Structure 1
Amino acid sequence: MCHHCVIETVKTSMLSRRSFLGGAAAAAGGSLASSLVVPRPALAETRGRVVDLTHAYDETFPTFDGKPGIVAEEAVNFDTSGYQLFKLTIYEHTGTHIDAPLHFSKDGRSVDELEPQSLVCPLCIIDITAKAADDPNATVEAEDVEAWISENGEIPAGACVAMRSGWARKVGSPAFRNDEANRFAFPGFGRSATDRLAALDVAAIGVDTLSLDPGSSADFAVHTSWLPGGRYGIECLNNLEDLPVKGATLFVGAPKHKGGTGGPARVLALV
């Protein structure tokens, strides 16, 4: 058989086989489709509203010790290299950030050791805005927790309970940190509240101020009791006013540097 004839024979055979297999596949596909249709989950879609609870921060953002919490230095210049990047010097407890148990205990859990499931949790908000308007060092107390439960139902185990005091609006002014006499002055949690929340198996507490404890605290009673118990805290939350007091889910983008006592976090709520 000539070379040309061989080629033509092979082509004809391949086309016939392809036609047969295509028809068989279509028939089998139709049969499978009718019995095994399983919709793919749209993991990237949500009907909820996402609220960013994180402050954007730079060297001017208020810090507990008054020193810049983040410094950015140019490491690679775009005009000379075609790309750019910065070297960041960051203090763990600045900006919107997480306090890990290790922050106030010698051998507590570090930020990289926090259980992932504790970083995605129900969010309950206790509003003390009216109280804070009268007293800059106002605190969430056990009676505030009980009042919330009476009005909204039980606080779920594993939840994050956040204090909403309206303080985030003061970030651009000295009043976020100090009173007119230049003393620390901002709301926080009281020990009676956090003891009650610990008994309810709450995973975390959050504040829209510089500290879990109020500015007037002399002993960091909440830090020294809440964190060593294996729980964590979030400080300098933003936009809590945009959320209902219950029903939102919190996503805490905690850093994961080994042995960290905490660090800046991107915190989002889905409602």
Structure 2
Amino acid sequence: MCNACLIESVKDRMLSRRGLFLGAAATAAAGVASGAFNARPALAASTGRVIDLTHAYDSDFPTFDGKPGILYDVDKKFDADGYHLFKLTIFEHTGTHIDAPLHFSEGATSVDALPVENLIAPLCVVDISAKAAEDPNSMVEASDIEAWISANGAIPAGACVAMSSGWTARIGDPSWRNLPDGTMAFPGFSKTATDLLVEAGAASIGVDTMSLDPGNSADFAVHYSWLPSGRFGIEGLANLDQLPASGATIFIGAPKHRGGTGGPARIIAMV
């Protein structure tokens, strides 16, 4: 086959695959808009193995602005008061946490108003650890989403699509946040990928890094497009490398403080 013919053949296959994908996505998007996702089929097929996707954190856990994300003040001591009690000062976006639509959009949905139907969801894990090892600012691209679909089938309605970059292994090391020169560098999603996930009907995305956008982002394109669409994100996930690409169910323990832009969350998965 000539080179030109081969190129046209590949294009035709890609267009055909994209057409089938977008056709299924129209139905999936309608389901997300109405909060209509039934977790029972996924749970029924699970083995019952539970994976903690949440980092324990304290005032030393890395944050985007470098300030401590949580501060402890002792309010009660066991010896003096008969019980322990801390007063906590917490910044919403620290540790493993939720980004609600309100975080990057005026008048959008706050964390307490997230549809509960989207807090239990099919989990799709997109592994980019190989390219992240070469480029700390690598991204989940549209081609990675298409490759996942080719291997695993359509993105389920209401799914959480999570990037597994291998960054959990860097916790406790400065490279989780920075290059040696202090410049922030870590993987994230590209807008072309999240635009595709909007069409697919995904309800949330997650990353095992500090931000939905890569560390070198100058415009926060994913934050400014994904969140205002009414969807939410999860940052700082742990242990995604222990999960299969498809078949797990994620349980998102979102905080419920009224009017919040997000907040620390307990996230677990069942396989």
Alpha-carbon deviations, 1:212-264, whole Å to 9, x = none? Answer: 00000000000000000000000000000111110000000000000000000
Question: What SS does the aligned partner of 2:83 have?
Answer: coil
Matches within 5 A, 1:1-271: 47-271=47-271
Question: What SS does the aligned partner of 1:221 have?
Answer: coil
Alpha-carbon deviations, 1:2-45, whole Å to 9, x = none? Answer: xxxxxxxxxxxxxxxxxxxxxxxxxxxxxxxxxxxxxxxxxxxx
**Could you tell me how far apart the structure 2 residues matched to 1:65 and 1:174 are?**
14
Query: 1:163 corresponds to which letter in structure 2?
Result: M
**Could you tell me how far apart the structure 2 residues matched to 1:47 and 1:154 are?**
22
Query: 2:243 corresponds to which letter in structure 1?
Result: L
Highest CA radius of gyration, 1 or 2? Answer: 1
Q: CA deviation at 1:169?
A: 1.1
Alpha-carbon deviations, 1:142-179, whole Å to 9, x = none? Answer: 00000000011111010000000001111101101110
Question: What SS does the aligned partner of 1:218 have?
Answer: coil
Query: 2:69 corresponds to which letter in structure 1?
Result: G
Query: 1:113 corresponds to which letter in structure 2?
Result: A
**What's the counterpart of residue 25 of structure 2?**
none
**Could you tell me how far apart the structure 2 residues matched to 1:67 and 1:50 are?**
32
Gaps of 5+ in 2: 1-45
Gaps of 5+ in 1: 1-45
> What is the aligned-residue identity percentage?
65
Alpha-carbon deviations, 1:187-223, whole Å to 9, x = none? Answer: 0000000000000110000000000000000000000
Question: What SS does the aligned partner of 2:222 have?
Answer: helix
Pairs aligned (count): 226
Question: What SS does the aligned partner of 2:268 have?
Answer: strand
TM-score, length-scaled by structure 2:
0.83
Q: CA deviation at 1:84?
A: 1.1
Q: CA deviation at 1:180?
A: 1.5
**What's the counterpart of residue 27 of structure 1?**
none
Deviating above 4 A after TM superposition, structure 1's stretches of 4 or more consecutive aligned residues are none
**Could you tell me how far apart the structure 2 residues matched to 1:83 and 1:47 are?**
39
**What's the counterpart of residue 3 of structure 1?**
none
**Could you tell me how far apart the structure 1 residues matched to 2:56 and 2:190 are?**
28
Query: 1:237 corresponds to which letter in structure 2?
Result: L
Query: 1:134 corresponds to which letter in structure 2?
Result: E
TM-score, length-scaled by structure 1:
0.83
**Could you tell me how far apart the structure 1 residues matched to 2:183 and 2:259 are?**
32
**Could you tell me how far apart the structure 2 residues matched to 1:254 and 1:199 are?**
24
